[in-house]
Structures are given as structure tokens and as C-alpha cells.
A = this chain, B = another copy of it.
């Protein structure tokens, strides 16, 4: 059974998954890389100097059994990337997705085949339709919702997410894009597990309850 999953989505104590303003120089705005430092210290991220442990165990679930990703326009590039026909994403010639990757945008362009198995497809679609498209491309494997925060929120609000892993970092960002807005009562559909790590972050796992 193909599931819809979210992994390694880092948020501040006050729930912001990114700061502001977002730009080519500062993709996460005033948050900088503070939301992701926990991940840089894992073996998953750096096989030479990274550490094993609970952070690493969570982080490396990211790619397991994933057959396609869906991401928002804000994740693919800085504001205005749609005006640059040469923009191919933040990640260089070999992006870390290695699957069909669907970019939601109001200004679609032709598909872009990269090295390493990543092909970017650009589409204008509702979350449900985008998921159907990605599910087909995933060929029996799972679909990852890659973010950013507003895309994650849209998929959660429509009840389309089976598994969500959030990482709460002990900082108060104060402004940016908040993951929780419009999701009152989200816990009714999920079992929620919290596990704090010696690194200071807390891993939150939302597992959708079986329909009763």
C-alpha cells in the first residue's frame, strides 16, 4: 500500500518551518540554517564526521521506499525563479531526490531531466490531483511531500498525509511560515509520538490511525 509521507521537516518552538524574507541568498530567511543544524551533525548527512543515534535514525527514513516527491514552488527556487528559464533548482546537476519530482507552480514549464534519476515535472494542480499523479509515477512506492510549510499544510488540511515526522528545534523564530495554521484538531486523526534527543531537538511522529 503506497503511503504519503513527510520527513525531517524542522520547525521552531513557535511552529515556523522557515523564517522571512526568503531570497536566493537566504532560502530560509532570518532562520538561516538554525532549523537544520541537528541534521548536519548526523551520519545521514555527513558519512565521515556525522553521528549515529536517534537524530540519525530519524533522518535516514527520508528516502526509504520513496518513489516520487511533491514540492511547492517556494522549495524549488527563490521568489521569481519562474522568470529565469535557466533555473534548475537549488541542488546542482544531481539533486538529492532520485525519483520523479513534482513541482507545484502556477506557471508550468517542460519537464527537466537531471542526473541521478531526478526528473522535475511542473504542474498546476490541487493537492489531491497532484498526489494522484505522483502516486502513479511512484509505481507502488511511497510519495513524499517535500515542503515547504504551506504545501505541507495544504496536504494535511485535506487529510492526505499518512505519516509526518517533524523536528522541533528549541528556538523561537517569531515570524515566517507557520506549519500549524488552520489545522485545529489535527491530532484526532493521528497517533502522535514525541521523542526528545540529547541534541536538544524533539522528534514528533504523526501516524495516521487506521479507519475504524
Contacts and interface: CB of A to CB of B under 8 A. Distances in A.
Interface string A170-189: 11111100101011111100
A13 B13 contact: no
Q: How many copies does the complex hold?
A: 2
Q: Looking at chain A's contact residues, is the secondary structure mostly helix, strand, loop, or mixed?
A: loop
A202 to B, nearest CB: 5
A158 to B, nearest CB: 15
Which of under 10, 10 to 19, 20 to 34, or 35 or more describes the interface residues of A?
20 to 34
Contacts of A174: 180, 182-185
A204 interface: yes
Contacts of A200: 192-194
A196 interface: yes
Interface of A: 13-15, 168, 170-175, 178, 180, 182-187, 192-196, 200-202, 204
